[in-house]
Structure 1
């Protein structure tokens, strides 16, 4: 493709052109990990005429630290998932290079740390039997999954696979173990999650089954800054000062034609370029925040709407002192309510944040939506009721609570993507497929690692390389295999 030379920067009223530079110009919408990764990949390939438009006042997207009760905690992504396997997770490499403070999460003693709804612990043998049954059903599901055609037409939900083994979790103990096994990972229940594309899960099959909790006061977002600093200009204190990164720019319109793209932001600014890479979340693509002109083709819209944007809410609660069991084998504990997913999974931070007296409880899906719509005081009262059922009525009152609201935030509309039943890998490939001069990236475009930090990073590289191939070789065709293809 013939390069276009921009010779001036035009700024008249709200009309802005990209900076003068040889080569094609690219606008990257979003400075999350995928957007930063894509921009660096373009830069490494010699495509440096880039503008990154970020809606917030920071880079990192859903990797975000917040100050809470005297410490920094992670509002979004928190773990390096997939460690100590045959292949090395690139995020594990980054975290080690940066010396991030992190701790291996040990879930092995859940059978001794599962609480009844009416109070008291279950017997370890009873819960271990539930866990063992779940593992057997999972193994049978994995065997079934591997027998399915690559076309994806034989795919079933995880729940359907369980039912094939005459297993449908129904008791509080069964439901909380099932919730830990699936909802805690995918943020949606087994009835909607694809078996073939999650069992076995490529992240753990390829990178290893260990997970490490990041508890560094610099924030997990340090890994994003590390990548950004490799191609964006920074000051001596590490602050990004590169004019190609423009913060607080909410993109509302993307116009596209065979001749180029025009991006309009909420404040009235207009940016023109040869190409645009859209790295907003799947939830934003499913919303009306960004208008595409002309409208995206039906196949693209359908692919975007068929995939799921899940909600995973980590609620941090501060106490004047610790009243829960501590020591080896106590970090994670479960609450087995008859209401599936009701404040089910708890974690203390004896190692991660010593002396902080903070608990983390995780909720997902409908519970996340419900909690986001009520005041934090109501959430604190509900959590306290659960904790009093577990540890007695004389425990201290919580002094502070932090409840993220990813679903309510128009700039995210959820936490991460989940692969639902009914979407095969070829339909999924349409999510990543370019539309003319519009390219797409994000964790939701990673075929094998959607929903993960490493998926976001690798997706940025992959999507940028598709654009680089188009620019450098003139091969701009992106082929999506037929739905019934078996290879």
Structure 2
């Protein structure tokens, strides 16, 4: 074995919330020889809080390029972690459809009518769970289901109201695409109910989501996280025979190669990275078991982004900048490349950042947006705001910032979902560890795409981290008996 190889009891691939939390839980349970290999130069993964804009007092303000809020309070481990750490003062709940709907003709639609439709839309969302809960077979997509249900509801109104309601329905379908992560025509109605909603509303984090991640690093040594370390190969062939440790080959910044070995490896990289590894026949030697490869390939991985617009002189009144875009094009008819901007469903003011608007965009349109020049994105957003607000004086933003999760080689997408080819069982298959012949877990998997009830969420990632840390702790305890 190479003299340069460093051996550790546990290696963790990735410093997102799953990676740092798994490391923390292991250290908390007395497993101290744990090192994280992180390709970037920061912790957080798809949680990325950055400075952009300014507060009302002129101080630097924050935006969330990735995870934006906590989904539910009741038994949400992220919520309780943030609460115990004093990160939720004051408590700020998200109102998804706050603001007004505007048309392409610059007409502001009835807020009362929009609220009626939104209440019914929420009821339809809750009803989708019946197919999974009662094992009712359906081959419908979420696009088909919502289009049909919304049309039936809208048909009850007058002709004038029906026209406006249909426009607002397009806004809500674009919102749902962002929430789930992709075009609704790809998403299975059959298994929508497998995701468990946690009661208590959506909670914003005034101090930034990254602060939640940092709470897990207080017991880290200075060299616990090896930044700028890209894992290029995981050789677990001899490990499964019980002969040698897992060998992890890495590439460092500047081109230097480095090798680590470990008794146990916890992989927390995104589903997008795992998909590429399966497709390119890279990363794992030997290849992952066939059933795990198939589950990785089958599951959907979303495309979601945000565009932040900073204005030195905001053109709106503070607290009054939520513009819902009621596009006239039918949801199913949008060309997501040529008309990428029609997948933006809203421009909203950012919490504690009164000079910044955020535009929410999803589907392949979000991927296409990443590849456009920044100036084009800025001009397009300005043209949309001028058109929908019927205000030619809306200025161009002073600067913009945008997320690029689809093109980022460390993520290759946003978050997982069940598409028409997959089932909830695929999350469990991905989560299954690789064992040696004598039953030792040598390669484990954590992250949101390994959680069958809470996939796509930070609390799913956190819960999976505890699951894998507890698995190893139990193994070590049994070894001592």
Instruction: Give the TM-score band, short-chain normalised.
Output: 0.7 to 0.9
1:78 to 54, 68, 80: 68
1:312 to 298, 301, 304: 304
User: 250-259 vs 44-53, which deviates more?
Assistant: 44-53
Retained in 2: the 8 A contact 1:130–1:177?
no
- How big is the shift at 1:347? 0.9
Retained in 2: the 8 A contact 1:141–1:162?
no
User: 446-455 vs 89-98, which deviates more?
Assistant: 89-98
Match of 2:39 in 1: 55
Does 1:265 find its partner at 2:250? yes
Structure-2 separation of matches of 1:163 and 1:373:
30
Does 1:344 find its partner at 2:340? no
Structure-1 separation of matches of 2:327 and 2:131:
31
- How big is the shift at 1:348? 0.9
Structure-2 separation of matches of 1:186 and 1:467:
32
Structure-1 separation of matches of 2:86 and 2:5:
40
Match of 2:205 in 1: 214
Match of 2:78 in 1: 91
3-state SS of 1:183 partner:
helix
- How big is the shift at 1:332? 3.4
Judged with a 3 Å threshold, the aligned counterparts in structure 2 of structure 1 residues 200 and 469 are, in CA distance, closer, same or farther, namely: closer
Judged with a 3 Å threshold, the aligned counterparts in structure 2 of structure 1 residues 344 and 148 are, in CA distance, closer, same or farther, namely: same
Structure 2: runs of 5 or more not aligned: 54-59, 155-164, 332-341, 436-441
TM-score, length-normalised on structure 1? Answer: 0.81
Judged with a 3 Å threshold, the aligned counterparts in structure 2 of structure 1 residues 154 and 172 are, in CA distance, closer, same or farther, namely: closer
What does residue range 215-294 of structure 1 map to in structure 2 within 5 Å? 215-216=206-207, 219-229=208-218, 231-233=219-221, 241=222, 243-257=223-237, 258=240, 259=243, 260-267=245-252, 268-288=257-277, 291-294=283-286
Retained in 2: the 8 A contact 1:134–1:178?
no
Identify, as 1 or 2, the structure richer in helix.
Answer: 2
Structure 1: runs of 5 or more not aligned: 1-9, 20-24, 234-240, 475-487
Retained in 1: the 8 A contact 2:425–2:452?
no
CA offsets 1:73-107 (integer angstroms, 9 cap, x no match): 22111212213xxx332222222233325622223
- How big is the shift at 1:250? 0.5
What does residue range 161-240 of structure 1 map to in structure 2 within 5 Å? 161-162=145-146, 165=149, 167=151, 171-180=166-175, 182-199=176-193, 201-204=195-198, 207-208=199-200, 210-216=201-207, 219-229=208-218, 231-233=219-221
Structure-1 separation of matches of 2:317 and 2:134:
44
Does 1:33 find its partner at 2:17? yes
- How big is the shift at 1:155? 6.8
Retained in 1: the 8 A contact 2:234–2:249?
yes
Retained in 1: the 8 A contact 2:101–2:323?
yes
Retained in 2: the 8 A contact 1:117–1:338?
yes
Judged with a 3 Å threshold, the aligned counterparts in structure 2 of structure 1 residues 221 and 450 are, in CA distance, closer, same or farther, namely: same
Retained in 1: the 8 A contact 2:416–2:455?
yes
CA offsets 1:404-430 (integer angstroms, 9 cap, x no match): 111111111112222223322223310
- How big is the shift at 1:158? 2.1
Structure-1 separation of matches of 2:313 and 2:236:
57
RMSD after superposition: 2.7
Match of 1:363 in 2: 361
Retained in 2: the 8 A contact 1:215–1:353?
no
Structure-2 separation of matches of 1:276 and 1:420:
29
Structure-1 separation of matches of 2:316 and 2:115:
22
- How big is the shift at 1:318? 0.8
CA offsets 1:284-309 (integer angstroms, 9 cap, x no match): 11114852111112111111111122
Structure-1 separation of matches of 2:38 and 2:361:
28
Match of 1:485 in 2: none
Judged with a 3 Å threshold, the aligned counterparts in structure 2 of structure 1 residues 155 and 72 are, in CA distance, closer, same or farther, namely: same
Pairs aligned (count)? 431
TM-score, length-normalised on structure 2? Answer: 0.82
Judged with a 3 Å threshold, the aligned counterparts in structure 2 of structure 1 residues 142 and 430 are, in CA distance, closer, same or farther, namely: closer
- How big is the shift at 1:338? 3.4
3-state SS of 2:313 partner:
coil
